[in-house]
Amino acid sequence: MNEILSQTSLFAIFLTLCAFELGRWLQKKTKLSVLNPILTSAIMIIVFLLITGVDNSVYQEGAKTFSWMLTPATVCLAVPLYEEVQILKKNIPAIIAGVAAGTVSSLGFIALMSWLMELDHSLYVSLLPKSITSAMAVVLSEQMGGLASITTMIIVVTGILGSVLGPIFCKIFRLNDDISAGVAYGTSAHVIGTSKAAQISELMGAVSSLSLVVAGILTALIFPLFV
Amino acid sequence: MEFIFSIAILLGFTFLGELLHVLLPLPIPAAIYGLLLLFLALNFKLVSVKKVKKTAGFFISIMSILFVAPVVNLMDSWQIVADNIIQIIVIVVLSTIIVFAISGNVTKLMLKGKESKNE
């Protein structure tokens, strides 16, 4: 089985697309943010591989076909960024200040906690970019010796946490205008938080989406100082 | 044909980003260079938003699928997570709350400051 399937990369691509669609359907049906399709589809694939006895390495080899799209997809974020900057021109300084404060405190806090708890260096680097979108975080983490698999999982978990608890956080921290709340969602919970913010209001979604890109850029620029 | 043209533009900026990443001695990912260059090009109207919007939307919409395989890879590095599970949970939960509170409140303060200046 392993030998036959390692001849074709389409097996991994087909499996991933099917599992992801199934995961999306599941989330739509249940309306639960916790059932993020990245997590549910990954679990389905792991179960599938364990049952059929296909090696993870065979699956990964095929799935590599996907990975080239990551960089252009990230570059494409420039388009919504441009459009949001046009809409939010007046509030740009306040948004950037909030994102910068959040980004620095995120990196600083993780560095401090990892030092206090004596975490392994590669685990520390894998956790460091946890609040930004995976496309940028995975590259940063790998560049500095982290593990892409851990970084991705932590990012998805962070995103789910931010989007599920966001409305409660907004109440506790009294973020009652759309711009401040949008910055909080985008800076702490990247794309997953942004989709939640966009459900609440269009303005909050746009601010969150702008924040996530700015947070990613800022993190990439100051990341080397923390490694 | 428009589709092909827009793909060419977007991949062209990605290529420029990778070129800068190779040529410049900074630890900045290629995607960030590409993103900033494309943003500048849109700002200075070198590239029209209309032309690339659809294709960019497509690339962004498929981004989530690209992360499924890395998460599946946890099968092989699960031990590291299991050995540090408590530390990881503490860091993830606390830092998410902290970032949420700080980023939102700094923006709120700045917006308030601006309002009172205008009054």
Residue that is last in its domain, among A42, A67, A92: A67
**A102 and A203 fall within a common domain:** yes
d(CA A5, CA B26): 40
Q: Any CB–CB contact under 8 A between B51 and chain A?
A: no
**A57 and A86 fall within a common domain:** no
Q: Any CB–CB contact under 8 A between B59 and chain A?
A: yes
> What pLDDT, in 10s, does the model give residues A62-96?
888 888 888 898 899 899 989 888 888 899 999 99
> Minimal Cα–Cα distance from B119 to chain A, Å?
16
d(CA A143, CA A105): 22
How many residues in total does chain A contain?
Answer: 227
**A29 and A98 fall within a common domain:** no
**A46 and A101 fall within a common domain:** no
**A85 and A63 fall within a common domain:** no
**A210 and A157 fall within a common domain:** yes
> Minimal Cα–Cα distance from B7 to chain A, Å?
10
**A112 and A10 fall within a common domain:** no
Give chain A's domain count: 2
pTM of the complete model: 0.84
**A83 and A63 fall within a common domain:** no
Residue that is last in its domain, among A67, A91, A111: A67
Write the burial class of residue A18 (CB in 10 Å: 0-12 exposed, 13-18 middle, 19+ buried).
middle
Question: Which has the higher per-residue pLDDT, A70 or A43?
Answer: A43
Question: Quick one: how far is CA A130 from the chain centroid?
Answer: 7
**A45 and A124 fall within a common domain:** no
State whether B35 and A153 contact (CB < 8 Å). Answer: no
Question: Which has the higher per-residue pLDDT, B16 or B76?
Answer: B16
Which residue, among B99, B109, B118, would best test binding to A if mutated, counting the most A CBs under 10 Å from its CB?
A: B99
Which residue, among B9, B18, B35, B62, would best test binding to A if mutated, counting the most A CBs under 10 Å from its CB?
A: B35
Q: Using the 8-state DSSP alphabet, how is residue A54 labeled?
A: -
- Complete DSSP assignment for A96-161: HHHHHHHHHHHHHHHHHHHHHTT--HHHHHHHTTTTS-HHHHHHHHHHTT--HHHHHHHHHHHHHH
> Minimal Cα–Cα distance from B2 to chain A, Å?
17
**A173 and A133 fall within a common domain:** yes
B42 CB-near residues (< 8 Å, 6+ apart): A78, A79, A82, B49
> What pLDDT, in 10s, does the model give residues B4-54?
999 999 999 999 999 999 999 887 888 889 999 999 999 999 999 999 999
> What pLDDT, in 10s, does the model give residues A112-142?
999 999 999 999 999 999 888 887 888 889 8
Cα nearest neighbour of A118 on chain B: B87
**A106 and A181 fall within a common domain:** yes
Looking at residue A38, its pLDDT comes to 87
State whether B30 and A71 contact (CB < 8 Å). Answer: yes
Q: B75: pLDDT confidence band, cut at 50, 70 and 90?
A: confident
Phi-psi label, residue B29: left if phi above 0, alpha if psi -120 to 50, beta otherwise: beta
State whether B105 and A173 contact (CB < 8 Å). Answer: yes
Q: Using the 8-state DSSP alphabet, how is residue B83 labeled?
A: H
**A79 and A159 fall within a common domain:** yes
List the single range of A149-158, A210-219, B58-67, B78-87 with lowest mean pLDDT: B58-67
Segments forming the whole domain that contains residue A36: 2-67
Q: Within A31-55, where are the H helices?
A: 37-52
- What residue has token string 């949970």? B89
- Complete DSSP assignment for A156-213: HHHHHHHHHHHHHHHHHTT--SHHHHHHHHHHHHHHHHHHHHHHH-HHHHHHHHHHHH
Average pLDDT score over chain B = 90
Q: Any CB–CB contact under 8 A between B95 and chain A?
A: yes
Residue that is last in its domain, among A67, A86, A113: A67
> What pLDDT, in 10s, does the model give residues A7-35?
777 889 999 999 999 999 999 999 887 88
